């Protein structure tokens, strides 16, 4: 478990793409610690690899939203956000699934953000908000990362 923890603590700080699966143990007894589930903080504070795209943690264990989002500046996908980014939200729902959805702002650049989706069987994090400047105005362009 210590080796597994070490690898997960590097995501997304030092790894672009990772797939980890428990071997030779009962997957129903394999529980990720609260520290591991709170890794979006690395990205928000600027400690991530260039071009991070997504992280998917599959499993049916209970996810504590307050632990995963502790210390993060985030915006829930409420009616206002869905109006503001309608096309993106529709695409995300169709391609990535649904659940509790949040945009996590990057502390070093508030025009960049991640989408955190907490569903019944998966916690997923996607790099979806990118800084765009057009006509002298800066804003966030939301899109699903291509893999």
pLDDT, one tens digit per residue, over 76-114 is: 999 999 999 999 999 999 999 889 999 999 888 989 999
The whole-number average pLDDT for the span 27-56 is 65
Question: So what's the pLDDT on residue 68?
Answer: 76
- Tell me the Ramachandran region of residue 50: left when phi exceeds 0, alpha when psi lies from -120 to 50, beta otherwise: beta
Q: Are 116 and 129 in contact (CB under 8 A)?
A: no
Question: So what's the pLDDT on residue 133?
Answer: 97
Question: So what's the pLDDT on residue 97?
Answer: 86
Percent of the residues in the chain that have a pLDDT greater than 90, as a whole number: 37
Of 137, 40, 126, which is closest to residue 91 (Cα–Cα)? 126
Distance of CA 70 to the CA centre of its chain: 13
Question: So what's the pLDDT on residue 87?
Answer: 95
Is the preceding omega at residue 12 within 30 degrees of 0, hence cis? yes
Q: Are 37 and 1 in contact (CB under 8 A)?
A: no
Name the range with the highest mean pLDDT among 18-22, 65-69, 85-89.
85-89
């Amino acid at each position: 478990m210590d080796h597994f923890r070490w690898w997960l603590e590097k995501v997304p700080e030092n790894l672009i793409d990772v797939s980890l699966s428990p071997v030779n143990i009962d997957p129903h007894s394999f529980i990720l610690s609260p520290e591991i589930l709170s890794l979006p903080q690395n990205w928000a504070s600027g400690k991530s690899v260039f071009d991070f795209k997504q992280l998917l943690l599959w499993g049916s264990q209970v996810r504590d939203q307050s632990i995963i989002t502790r210390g993060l500046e985030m915006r829930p996908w409420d009616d206002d956000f869905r109006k503001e980014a309608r096309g993106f939200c529709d695409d995300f729902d169709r391609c990535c699934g649904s659940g509790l959805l949040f945009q996590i702002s990057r502390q070093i650049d508030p025009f960049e953000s991640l989408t955190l989706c907490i569903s019944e069987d998966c916690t997923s994090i996607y790099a979806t908000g990118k800084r765009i400047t057009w006509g002298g105005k800066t804003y966030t362009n939301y899109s699903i990362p291509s893999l």
